[in-house]
Structure 1
Amino acid sequence: MSTTKVLGSPQAQSKAGAPPADQLLVLAWAGYVAAVAEMGQATHPDKDGESQRRVTACAEVLESHPAHTPVGIAAKLRYLVSGIHDSPAAWKALVEGGSLQDAIVDDSRAKALWDVISEVEALVMAPVVEPDAFADTVAAFENAAPEPLCMPQSPTDAMVQAGAAAAGITLKRFANAYAAAVEAFKGERAA
């Protein structure tokens, strides 16, 4: 699915899965799109009036509720662009996806706004790294690392002092014992 289709159609919206914080905005955009489509197909004045009331109600939601996620921001931006450029080409791009560039050839600010919509929707499509997935990746790396990396090749001064004090030996003797232990450890892992 292209990034321009994240919020375009009601089907795309259900696939995108609106975060709970912005579900009302996404539903309002879907309702707005459906009501505008019904207005264009209305054969009875009462049906057209009902569709207009739905358009107005959805517009009020889109104008009054704050967006909390890129999905909500994109819904509000699409609504705003639909009010600025109401040509059939612009509407088709906003609802079905595709390029709005052809519909707004003469308006550089509208082109910039369309670029922002595409960038915001790209955020929606960007992979999210969950904290557990990150921890799992770190654990996998640590498990795959060569074992000698788990033990310093030579002890730090603090290690030498603590080890010598604990064993009751000189610093030099502890350093020599540590070096021998590292070599033995390497030999065990190589075998």
Structure 2
Amino acid sequence: MDTYGKIDVMFNNAGTGVNKPLLQHEPEDYDKVVKVNQYGVYYGILAAGRKMQQIGSKGVIINTASVYAYVGTPGVIGYHAAKGAVRIMTQAAALELAPYGIRVVGVAPGGVDTQMLQGYKDAGLEDVMARKHMRRRLLTPEQIANVVAFLASDESDVINGSIVMADDGLVEFR
């Protein structure tokens, strides 16, 4: 705000995970994931929405959900719960902020080749993750960034309250 005098785009993209079987979980494992992946998005929506409304910005808030807001897999229950919350928060916030001209949208990436997948790689499961996508490859951060850039642009002005699946068909054709 001090540099540009306004806020047009907020991208809520922080994420973490705990990968272990449910019965081995401790409450702290769940809390860790929810605090970052769910609460972080909530606080980001709240801060950006308030500032955009205050200054009259017709901006966009973009939230990173996940394909795992739609499908379950073993070992990451906190991640599923938090990303499911992001999915519905995106819709609810869009309803509440639309009267101010503010859009709220989300992106749901599939398996992206980032540090978050290092555990899969270390366990020799990179190919298992890649095969879940229609073209049998992991996605790149740049591919997801292109989707986010589109959602931040005026060209996506008619998209509001939606989650854009950026998953190479993982959910639709599983």
Same fold by TM-score greater than 0.5: no
> Radius of gyration: which is bigger?
1
More strand per residue: 2
